[in-house]
Chain A
Amino acid sequence: MPTHIDGGRSMPSSATTAHELPLTYNHSFLTLLVRDPFCVFAQWEVAKEDRHARGPNGQHSALVLRMYDVHIESPPDGATKQPLPITGLGQFIDFDVSERGSMYIPLAAPGRMLISAIGFHSSEGTDGVAAGFVPIVVSNIAHMPPGQPAAETAPGRAWGFVLNPGPIFGAHPITGRGPFGGVRGSTSSSDFAWK
């Protein structure tokens, strides 16, 4: 069984000032943006008609954001045209979400491939929808950075010496941007565990 976690937050107030931006686009979407090797940002909206279209009970069920680990170790050459052989079908986490919102999801998933879907649980199959998780909208695939040096070195190659990075500070002298303070280590822990 999946883990259920209350997640998400509503639209922030900073988006509403003199130039009003829409609160809704009346279009279903779910986007994953990778923040770092240990955190992915999800933003979504589920249009009413899409929710209703998924079945007669859809509008009465709580929405769930389901995050899957779909990592494959070595995509075959030319995999761009191949169906993804998802092997992590049993690995997912569920979050209870509203129809529109966003959330940061801390995950112990450096180097993994993630995909998520928003849908609802159907307790009984009706009108062509089987019982179980009924997805409404699917995200892009998020490729999490490895967060550490690869264990693998190309065969027959020596490892060149790399001087140890030290703490660096800096900001753009005018606008403030600039390089960061060194490579982030594997210090972040996950709040959630894959099922």
Chain B
Amino acid sequence: MAEPTGYLSIVLHAHLPFIRHPEHDTFLEENWLFEAITDCYIPLLDVFDGLARDGVPWRLTMSVTPTLAAMLTDDLLLERYERHIRGLVELAEREIERTQFDPELHRLAHMYRNRFAHTLHAFTEVHGRNVVAAFRRWQDAGHLEIIASAATHAYMPLMEPSFAGAGTQIKVGIEAYRRAFGRDPRGFWLPECGYTPPLDELLAENGVEWFMAESHALLHAMPRPRYGVHGPIRCPRSNVAVFARDTESSKQVWSATEGYPGDYDYRDFYRDIGFDLDYEYVRPWLKADVRGHTGVKYYRITGPGDDKQLYNPEAATAKAALHAGNFMFNREIQAHHLRHSMDRPPLVVAPYDAELFGHWWFEGPQWLDFLVRKIAYDQTAIQLVTPSDYLARHTENDVAQPSPSSWGYGGYSEVWLNESNDWIYRHLHAAEARLRSLAMQIAEPPPLIRRALTQALRELLLAQSSDWAFIMSAGTHVSYAVRRTQEHLDRCRNLCEQIERGSVDEVRLAEAESRHTVFKWLDYTVLRDRSEVIGNRAVYDTGSVRLATEREPAAAGIATSAEAPVSV
């Protein structure tokens, strides 16, 4: 194959926190999963199916996080989703009836009925209620590279400073990947693109070849990488490759002012009949009887004001095609421009939340479909690759130490560490230390203690999810995020106390196990795994530190956070 002028790597990060509430018949936050299946995952699979059906060559990268994969294979949630989508078909039928005297609305109601009916059919019949297996099929067919992520999407730069907890998140995440996708992952999505040393070393220890990072992980790397973000670097200690987000291509999709999703022809996300119509009429389709999104939205963005015009699907599709062409054209220009100052084809890495496509940006899957087809047939300058493809073609890359960074606001840890959420860390760290200490002490526990240790680990992992800290910071669903954090930490602490006493409440343990079914295969012994990286780091950080004092005290035995001896 001839060398192109440049490469484009589109990375879709699919993630939702683990939300499952069997104790309630319906639960508001479970809707996040249902909306994502309807709006994003099934439409993306439709795009992939269509590309394959038409013989279009394509290479895309995607993460499916362990918590999302667990929910997508959970019988209770799948049953509830099927009930949900059948309800939407019913709602659309009601809308067809209600709008029969308004031809334009009536047409849109039909669009939704057809769409929901198709989704129901695709979910139950085409994919056999197994969306994870559907994605796996495209990886096995050589079109999609699925990458791994941390167990519960923990923001790892703020984990307990020895990074032993980060090591556990990575190990469990990779094991979840193996079980979902039947192979070892090559790439890894660091949750929130949160990087700090020694995460690259922990990834290397677990066989990971590359990970995604934010732009300034490379732009601020030491020494300065010669290709900026347009080629990966390799970390000096681990040799793991790092790919970083290209800001220009990101801006075209994410920007509030310049991004495609804000085009006036696209469907307006906020105008939903769940808010607009009579409460009693829409109530059967609302979660917890609270007004909210049903998924039936009749208006286009139209402009900045509240006066909205009806959605025109054909005009929106035409605009998606136009935007795909524009995106491709800009990548061609970018590739030609960069190629002059590089000794190899530049790489543009464009990572997006998968849930952007179809949910907030209704036409996103169409845009992606057009883009892949146009790249295949309308130009020759750029080529779709995955990061692994790039590494196979370009084995020599700059060696540099990436900068700590994230893709959150501010570019570092501010989103997950501020006055709204900083209280969680002392508890998370204490729980981590206590449970790990117990796990190290108990080598051959009786079955009930083993179950308790494992459930305590499950609770700890769930408490570590970055989503809770984010939600506290964002100010929406705060009480839920606080409650989840407290619940998991409290349950972890209770279990630790029971284990220490040697007396486990089996009834309550079974109740906890049945409520949070994530990682059913989990075993506490993962906490006992030795990490050379972490062992070395503990020595480096605290073991031999000589404290600066005005006059050095003679006494020894000062306590340290890492419980390592300090000579003073």
Interface residues of A (CB under 8 A from B): 11-12, 14-15, 17-22, 25, 27-37, 41, 43, 45, 47, 50, 53-55, 68, 70, 79-84, 86, 88-90, 92, 102, 115, 117, 122, 128-141, 143, 145-154, 157-184
Contact = CB atoms under 8 A, between A and B. Distances in A.
Nearest to B231: A160
B546 A83 contact: yes
Contacts of B359: 173-174
Contacts of B224: 149-154, 159
The 7 closest A-B pairs by CB, nearest first: A173-B360, A162-B228, A140-B161, A132-B551, A165-B247, A170-B254, A83-B544
Nearest to A9: B419
Interface stretch (B135-143, B374-382, B404-412, B499-507): B404-412
Given A31-B425, A177-B470, A178-B254, A41 B417 contact: yes
Given A14-B482, A19-B486, A143-B197, A154 B254 contact: no
> Secondary structure of the B side of the interface?
loop
Nearest to B254: A170
B554 A37 contact: no
B179 interface: no
A19 B487 contact: yes
A145 B404 contact: yes
Given A35-B414, A153-B226, A173-B361, A50 B559 contact: yes
A96 to B, nearest CB: 16
B178 interface: no
A150 B415 CA distance: 25
A6 B423 CA distance: 20
Contacts of A14: 420, 423, 482
A175 B413 contact: no
5 contacts: A18-B483, A68-B548, A160-B228, A167-B255, A173-B359
Interface string B544-565: 1111111111110111111000
B341 A158 contact: yes
B286 to A, nearest CB: 17
B349 interface: no
B363 interface: no
A173 B540 contact: no
B412 A174 contact: no
B113 interface: no
A174 B36 contact: yes
A37 B541 CA distance: 19
Contacts, number: 322
Given A145-B404, A169-B254, A178 B353 contact: yes
By CB atoms of chain A within 10 A, which of B359, B398, B405, B409 has the most? B409
By CB atoms of chain B within 10 A, which of A131, A152, A183 has the most? A183
B542 to A, nearest CB: 6
B536 A166 contact: no
Interface string B215-226: 110011111111
Contacts of A21: 427, 486, 489-490, 493
A145 B403 CA distance: 6
Contacts of B230: 160, 162
A33 B425 contact: yes
A19 B489 contact: yes
B540 A130 contact: no
Given A171-B474, A173-B355, A138 B558 contact: yes
Nearest to A69: B548
B256 interface: yes
By CB atoms of chain B within 10 A, which of A148, A157, A174 has the most? A174
Contacts of A47: 559
Contact of A154 (B223, B229, B536, B539): B223
Interface residues of B, number: 121
Interface of B: 16-17, 32, 35-36, 157-158, 160-162, 192-193, 196-197, 214-216, 219-231, 245-248, 250-251, 254-259, 269, 334, 337-338, 341-342, 346, 353, 355-356, 359-361, 398-400, 403-415, 417-420, 422-423, 425-427, 429-430, 466-467, 470-471, 474, 476, 482-483, 486-487, 489-490, 493, 536-537, 539-542, 544-555, 557-562, 566, 568
A183 B213 CA distance: 13
A53 to B, nearest CB: 8
Contacts of B227: 160
A160 B230 CA distance: 8
B418 to A, nearest CB: 8
B341 A161 contact: yes
B60 to A, nearest CB: 18
Contacts of A70: 545, 548
Nearest to B400: A154
A81 B539 CA distance: 6
Contact of A179 (B157, B407, B412, B546): B407
A78 to B, nearest CB: 10
Contact of A175 (B467, B547, B561): B467
Contact of A168 (B254, B398, B489, B547): B254
Contacts of B398: 154, 157
A162 B353 CA distance: 24
B422 A41 contact: yes
Nearest to B417: A35
Given A34-B413, A36-B413, 6 more contacts: A27-B430, A129-B553, A140-B161, A146-B220, A160-B227, A173-B360
B2 to A, nearest CB: 22
Given A134-B553, A140-B562, A170-B254, A183 B426 contact: no
A131 B231 CA distance: 55
A72 B483 CA distance: 43
A62 B423 CA distance: 24
A180 B407 contact: yes
